[in-house]
Amino acid sequence: MLRWLSRARPPPARLLLACCLLLLPGARSLGLYSPSDPLVLLRADTLERSVFNSSSAWVVEFYASWCGHCIHFAPTWRALAGDIQDWRPAVMLGVIDCADMANQKVCSDFGITGYPTLKFFRAFSKKPDDGIRLYHHGDDIQSLKESIITSLERHEVVWPPACPPLEPISVAELYGFFQINNVTYLALIFEKEDSFLGREVTLDMLQFENVAVRRVLKSNEELVKSFNVTAFPSGFLLTHNGSSHLIPVHAEMRSLYTDYLRRLPGVCRGHFFIPTEPPSEGPKTTPTPWRVADRKKLYMADVESAVLYSLRVEVARFLQLDKERLAALKQYVALLVKYFPGRPVVMNYLRNLNWWLKPMANVSQSEWEEALQNKKELPNARLPKEPIWVGCQGSKPRYRGYPCALWTLFHLLTVQEALRNPKYYTPSEVLPTMRAYVRYFFGCRECADHFEGMAAESMNKVKNKDEAILWLWSRHNRVNARLAGTSSDDPKFPKIQWPPQDLCWSCQLTINGRRMWDERAILRFFKFHFSRLSLDFLKPERNNRVRNGRDVVDRDHQTEGKLERGENGQGVEEEFEENKRTEKLENGRVEKPGLERGGSQELRRPSIIKMSTKTKELEEDIVDLDIFSEQHYRSKALKVAGQANSRLRRNRREIGMVLMEDEGLQAFDYDAAWEHLRHKEFGTQQLIGAMKEGEKENVLSLRRNQWFHILGVGFSQLDVSLCIALYFLSSMCLLGMYTFFRMRMRYRKGHPGYPLA
């Protein structure tokens, strides 16, 4: 068999490449539209040169490929483009995907704050502000056509050269029409003032020669009496030789009029120049490789990408951030600093951004873009350049992605809030902050309105942090039920009621034939699932940090035993003592010997653009947390094993199975202990130097527990329990034997026949 396989002729390289592209989700199309659609696909480098100084009027849809409403609206916009394609070149339709980060800047320049946004650009427009928001009564094609015609008629200065006249014809113009216009036929459509039939037929016949169409209003009594019109709409066909007759159409149907006129003798389609945009010669993008995700894992790549996209795309759309919108942004960033369990390099970035943002009264778009840049002088405070979807990757680019990751981020924050702040009867900070973010920044406005409706309905009834977890879970499932089976639902990853039984078998129960949710089990599952993050598909960060005035290369995330050994080979205890000797705490401010205020201290600057002297005093070392990066996540599996013995029982009569009351359990999260230290606004080394003896003992106890797990590898808890029981029984047996022989010796010593020395 191996010999036969070795002799088999390998398939051509081109065939393999084609097969890979066919199997790769999203390899063919990167948006909601394709080049075969009768509209123009615009990009950042083609939008302005297509729309500005054009002799045609343009209607552009600014959309986001991940937006659910945009996905639902795409078939309507595609059908509209097919319906009015004969209106070209008077009216051109275009689309641009603002979800593509390459188009984000140009979409922001055009003032796009929500999706989808339709903008009408008159002929010979000069700048983005010339675009007029296209309002319509609904998402049906007829409403859109009427809005386009109304906007087209507002050309007051320069009428589009390729557009026929749409105003009603007068008596004087009618009498001299054939002397001025070299056509054989003139179709007159008599209609009411609010009818769009005549204008639609006029635009439909734009590309056809030897025929003209004009409308006559019912209020023009002279022409109405002249042609003896009694029904509206009605059509009359006039020829250049002076004859006229009634058009045999008895319904208000635009297609009947156009079909009749196009079949007239001598009427044919002319040659019109249709402006098209050639493909740009930009850099070729390679298809995104498919990432095989484990449903049981929560990926750091997804939640970090949600943070990245929310800050660099969603927030950056606005030309000015002030008042309520700026307050919502400050709350959002502060919440991420407080509860987001990101990698150290990302957390340093968020802390710097939070410090810079706090004193701001208003932020311009240029200031925000400057603040979001990764600074060379801050190599240990960075955001990824591009989002990476793993657990939220869809079968096509328009599916899942950012909305999925944003839901995941919000679930993660509610769980981290409950684990790190165990005070039970305190309100949630995450829910109101999340509500404000969705209201002011989430691009899909229809989705934001739905979420706001759910929040206004019952969010104020949430009393504590555990209820916040369950509230968000139930509302997410409500959204999944509403969107299941719609055009925005990924067929490969259909929207289901989560969690499914294969992830949490105890979360769903069947009672009397009805499926019920056990909220107590759901709460336990959420606290377990959203307390572990996988670093798969993320490149390890290798960062530089400053120690005693010289640059030292930190160990990367793949270094083994980071908590067990220090940089110079000493153990954790010795490193703690060394840090205590070299770092001092003075009024909440750390002064390091050997670190001058000149050059190297700039690496620790929390302000990203400009920073006052007072702000500098509040900065913290943004790189010290790097030494706990990978081990913090590698030890998750060992920590979970010890959670069963560290759980805190709490009486929760509000939480139980649906329609029932029961008692719940709250799992202890080891992250909370370290996060408590990390929130004291000092770096790792400073915190270690300031730790109390009890805190140091906890760290050493954790180290001993880790050694216990290492020594006990390969043995289950039952095996260890049996060993302890056997050891106890053997000890008692030996003690019993010793007591028996001791008493027997004493008895024999007192017996008369006992031999004496």
Summarised one tens digit per residue, pLDDT across range 361-402 is: 999 999 999 999 998 888 889 998 889 999 999 998 889 999
Q: What mean pLDDT comes out for the span 78-93? A: 93
Q: What's the CA gap between 39 and 95, in Å, rounded?
A: 7
The pLDDT assigned to 586 comes to 36
Residue 188, φ and ψ in degrees, nearest 5: -105, 125
Name, of 104-108, 161-165, 471-475, 505-509, the range with top average pLDDT.
471-475
753 band by pLDDT with thresholds 50, 70 and 90 = low
CATH of domain 40-152: 3.40.30.10
- Is pTM beyond 0.75? Reply is no
Residue 164 · residue 202 · CB < 8 Å: yes
DSSP state for residue 603 in the 8-state scheme: G
Q: What is the mean pLDDT of the chain?
A: 76
757 band by pLDDT with thresholds 50, 70 and 90 = very low
Residue 283, φ and ψ in degrees, nearest 5: -65, 140
Q: What's the CA gap between 358 and 750, in Å, rounded?
A: 91
Query: Looking at the chain, which residues constitute the CATH 1.20.120.310 domain(s)?
Result: 300-494
Separation of CA 440 from chain center: 15
pLDDT tens string 444-453: 988 999 999 9
CA atoms within 13 A on the CB side of 192: 5
Nearest to 446 by CA among 142, 114, 136: 114
Residue whose entry in the numeric block shows the structure tokens 């979001």? 372
Name the pairing type of β-strands 91-97 and 40-41: parallel
Residue 647 · residue 508 · CB < 8 Å: no
The pLDDT assigned to 315 comes to 93
Residue whose entry in the numeric block shows the structure tokens 């999260």? 669
Residues annotated as part of the active site: 67, 70
pLDDT tens string 420-441: 887 777 889 999 999 999 999 9
User: Tokens for 419?
Assistant: 């684990």
Residue 655 · residue 664 · CB < 8 Å: yes
CA atoms within 13 A on the CB side of 245: 6
String of DSSP letters for 540-598? PP--EEEETTEEEEPP-TT-TTTTTB-TTS-BHHHHHHHHHHH-EEETTEEE-TT--SS
Amino acid symbol at 326? L
The pLDDT assigned to 694 comes to 45
String of DSSP letters for 397-437? TTSBSHHHHHHHHHHHHHHHHHHH---TTS--SHHHHHHHH
Put the strands of the sheet holding 211-217 in their side by side order: 211-217, 185-191, 234-239, 244-246
The pLDDT assigned to 750 comes to 66
The SS3 call for residue 494 is coil
- Helix 141-152 / helix 68-83 crossing angle, nearest 10 deg: 70
Residue whose entry in the numeric block shows the structure tokens 């007072």? 614
The pLDDT assigned to 277 comes to 57
Q: What's the CA gap between 16 and 19, in Å, rounded?
A: 5
Question: What fold is seen in the domain 171-269?
Answer: Glutaredoxin (3.40.30)
Q: What mean pLDDT comes out for the span 551-565? A: 35
Residue 122 · residue 57 · CB < 8 Å: yes
Q: What's the CA gap between 163 and 183, in Å, rounded?
A: 16
422 preceded by cis ω (within 30°)? no
Query: Looking at the chain, which residues constitute the CATH 3.40.30.10 domain(s)?
Result: 40-152, 171-269
Residue 99 · residue 53 · CB < 8 Å: no
Residue 40 · residue 50 · CB < 8 Å: yes
CA dihedral 738, 740, 741, 743 (to 10 degrees): 120
Q: What mean pLDDT comes out for the span 227-240? A: 92
Q: What mean pLDDT comes out for the span 688-700? A: 44
CATH of domain 300-494: 1.20.120.310
Paired residues of 159 in beta bridges: none
Poorest-pLDDT segment among 299-303, 580-584, 587-591, 593-597: 593-597
Q: What's the CA gap between 387 and 526, in Å, rounded?
A: 25
The SS3 call for residue 95 is strand
